[in-house]
């Protein structure tokens, strides 16, 4: 969802601050979607759908898709057609892969779904000739885009096992956090079940910003400390270094970035 909402900013759209006096019923009638204290116009998302659809049309329709492939192609569209900054545009230019583990749980996932259904609309109407729109929709739902999440999983795992040293930076919880952490156990069980002997990767460095304590059960995966027991992280006794900051990322992250940039600037000054 964050990538999808960021995409609307990348194509020149904007978000608005929500005033608590406005009811959600009123927002719905006026075409605004509320994200906590922020508003996103439905028309923004409809425009983003046009960008996604335009990108999909120039791709090979027979290839198996993944979030890595789709975000790369969207980044290419942004780089070639839009002047604004954006995560996907920068990732494309810098050749950094972007993975969205819960891809269908996002506006982009819905855009790809409706694009694929649109290709099957005429055939669906023919199959249920004289049927209701609900019957047409059900017929279309039998046709799905060729999306393979294991392309993402294995591509990410290949990147990780190729690295000499690993670090991870996570904000909040959600599916992406544990998805990124689980590559060590993935390789470990691949060894035991397939008779292979590949060194399971473990993260040596990590920073996690999340205000939620682990006993609430909403972290989507273990804490870094707990992850040692899963073989995901190198313990401090073996050189692992990680910090878990139980605070609001909107407060801590900017401070962390300012401190990091100041350190980098100071080091560059010493070199000159």
Place of tokens 């996570």: 170
Domain with residue 78: its CATH number is 3.40.910.10
Instruction: Check whether residue 172 and residue 127 sit in a common domain.
Output: no
> Pairing relation of β-strands 38-41 and 15-17?
antiparallel
Cβ atoms of residues 209 and 253 within 8 Å: yes
Does 220 fall in a domain? yes
| pLDDT > 70? residue 267 | yes
pLDDT at 107 over 80: yes
Contacts of residue 112, defined as CB under 8 A and 6 or more positions apart, other chains included, come to 52, 56, 65, 70, 103, 145, 147
* Statement to judge: residues 8 and 122 lie in one domain: yes
Question: Mean per-residue pLDDT for 244-267?
Answer: 93
The tens digit of pLDDT for each residue in 165-220 reads 999 999 988 888 889 999 999 999 999 999 999 999 999 999 999 888 888 877 76
End position of a domain, from candidates 87, 109, 141: 141
Q: Is residue 155 included in any domain, yes or no?
A: no
Rounded to two decimals, what is the model's pTM? 0.89
The answer to whether 96 touches 68, Cβ cutoff 8 Å, is no
The reply to whether 158 falls in a domain is no
Matching residue, tokens 């156990």: 185
CA distance 115 to 222: 36
Q: Mean pLDDT across the stretch 130-147?
A: 86
Of 141, 175, 198, the residue that ends a domain is 141
Whole-angstrom distance, CA of residue 268 vs CA of residue 27: 49
Model confidence at 272: pLDDT above 70: no
Q: Can you tell me which residue has the tokens 């075409």?
A: 31
Estimate to the nearest angstrom the gap between the alpha carbon of 10 and the chain centroid: 16
Residue 140 confidence (pLDDT): 86
Residue 241, φ and ψ in degrees, nearest 5: -135, 120
| Helix, strand, coil abundance in the chain, percent, nearest 5 | 55, 10, 35
Q: Are residues 88 and 171 in the same domain?
A: no
Q: How far is CA 35 from CA 43, 76, 93, 112, 253, in A?
A: 15, 28, 29, 22, 20
What value does the mean pLDDT of the chain take?
91
Same domain, residue pair 202 and 245 = yes
How many folded domains does the chain comprise?
A: 2
Q: How confident is the model at residue 5 (pLDDT cuts 50, 70, 90)?
A: confident
- Please state, in angstroms and rounded to a whole number, the distance separating the CA atoms of residues 115 and 226: 41
**Is residue 271 over pLDDT 80?**
no
pLDDT at 142 over 90: no
Where does the pLDDT of residue 152 fall: very low under 50, low under 70, confident under 90, or very high at 90 and above? very high
Question: Can you give the residue range of the structural domain that contains 64?
Answer: 2-141
Query: Could you tell me if 42 and 111 lie in one domain?
Result: yes
The SS3 call for residue 32 is: strand
Residue 144 has pLDDT above 80, yes or no: no
Query: Are residues 114 and 27 located together in one domain of the fold?
Result: yes
**Same domain membership, residue 197 and residue 126:** no
Q: Which residues of 112-146 are buried (b: 16+ CB within 10 A; e: fewer)?
A: bbebbbeebeeebbeebeeeeeeebeebbeeeebe
Could you tell me if 140 and 117 are in contact, meaning their C-beta atoms sit under 8 angstroms apart? yes
Taking only the tens place, the pLDDT of each residue in 30-87 is 999 999 999 999 999 999 999 999 999 998 878 899 999 999 999 999 999 999 899 9
Task: Check whether 1 has a pLDDT greater than 80.
Answer: no
Beta strand spans in the chain (E): 15-17, 32-35, 38-41, 167-171, 205-209, 241-245
Residue 264 confidence class, pLDDT cut points 50, 70, 90? very high
pLDDT for residue 239 is more than 70: yes
Model confidence at 268, pLDDT cuts 50, 70, 90, reads: confident
Phi first, then psi: what are they for 158, rounded to 5°? Answer: -65, -40
What's the pLDDT at 190? 97
pLDDT of residue 143: 72
Closest CA to 141 of 120, 159, 163: 120
């Amino acid at each position: 969802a964050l990538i999808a909402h960021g995409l609307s900013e990348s194509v020149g759209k904007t978000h608005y601050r929500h005033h608590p006096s406005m009811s959600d019923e009123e927002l719905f009638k006026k075409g605004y979607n509320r994200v906590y204290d922020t508003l996103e116009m439905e028309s923004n998302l409809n425009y983003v759908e046009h960008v996604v659809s335009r990108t999909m049309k120039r791709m090979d329709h027979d290839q198996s898709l993944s979030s890595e492939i789709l975000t790369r192609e969207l980044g290419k569209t942004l780089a070639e057609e839009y002047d604004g900054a954006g995560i996907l545009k920068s990732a494309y230019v810098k050749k950094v892969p972007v993975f969205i583990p819960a891809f269908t749980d996002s506006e982009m996932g819905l855009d790809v779904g409706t694009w694929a259904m649109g290709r099957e609309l005429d055939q669906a109407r023919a199959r249920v000739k004289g049927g209701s729109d609900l019957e047409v929709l059900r017929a279309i739902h039998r046709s799905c885009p060729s999306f393979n999440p294991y392309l993402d999983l294995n591509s990410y795992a290949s990147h990780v096992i190729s690295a000499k040293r690993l670090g991870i930076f996570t904000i909040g919880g959600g599916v992406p956090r544990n998805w990124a952490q689980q590559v060590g156990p993935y390789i470990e069980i691949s060894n035991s079940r397939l008779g292979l002997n590949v060194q399971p990767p473990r993260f040596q460095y990590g920073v996690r910003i999340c205000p939620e304590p682990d006993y609430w059960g909403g972290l989507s995966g273990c804490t870094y400390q707990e992850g040692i027991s899963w073989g995901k992280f190198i313990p401090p006794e073996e050189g692992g270094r990680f910090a878990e900051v139980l605070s609001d990322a909107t407060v801590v992250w900017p401070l962390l970035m300012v401190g990091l940039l100041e350190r980098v600037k100071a080091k560059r000054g010493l070199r000159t």
